Amino acid sequence: MRVHVLTLFPEMFGSPLAAGVLRRARELGTLEVWVHQLRDYAGGRHLQVDDTPYGGGQGMVMKPEPLVAAIEHVAAADAPRRILLSPQGIAFSHERARSLACERALLLICGRYEGLDERVKAHVDEELSIGDYVLSGGELAALVVLDAIARLLPGVLGNAASPADDSFATGLLEHPQYTRPEDFRGARVPDVLLSGEHAAIARWRRQQSLRLTLERRPDLLAHAPLDATDRAFLRKLGWRDGDGG
């Protein structure tokens, strides 16, 4: 997969791309990332990429000319799916990451300032938001999207089962995890995890996943794949079918 990033601050991507999952994906050749400086597509002596908003108001607005020129340049070479990181976009999710991981090429467009000229949006395929809060720009959001996608690419995590067990991958939050020592300052690992009884361990993990989801993200239960055993366990905890929808 090739991912292009359009930004005013390419330097923000150096360290993240050189570490962890993103580094591994690039070293394997599974992921290529090309970071483009938006000012390279700006005209004039000052390479201006923003201007004051029509109608007045605070801050500056990103101009359409350099943005569209950059989008068209990348699109002509690679035909990527064009994604604008925007607080007005649909909420990014594990399902969306899984879908985007199947694309051949992506272009992530990072906004700045008070936003960008509305006419630019006619040149993108979709808008994505990583949450209901304000960032200084789309760079951090682009890195979140990149990381979420990279770990789903074949071979990147080493253990093919790892992504399938993560929170949200099954529609639920992940069960608690433990490792050595068995006793840490009086807090012991649950006996079932030491039993070697695989069926009992699987049942405990599923129940803990259901319990955590009910406590912290009950809204997820409305769409999670629940069987009769799951529903019976949740009802014992006070859940009713239809809660959290």
Which sequence positions are flagged as catalytic?
A: 87, 114, 151, 166
Output the six-digit token pair for 227: 């069987």
Task: Assign residue 111 a region (left: φ > 0; alpha: ψ between -120 and 50; beta: otherwise).
Answer: beta
Q: Packing angle between helix 139-150 and helix 20-28, nearest 10 degrees?
A: 60
What's the rounded Cα separation, in Å, for the pair 122 and 115?
Answer: 15
DSSP state of 126: E
Q: What angle do CA 210, 173, 202 make, to 5 degrees?
A: 55
| Coil vs helix vs strand at 132 | coil
| CB-based contact 74:6 (threshold 8 Å) | yes
Q: How far apart are CA 54 and CA 64, in angstroms?
A: 13
Tokens of 84: 């604008």
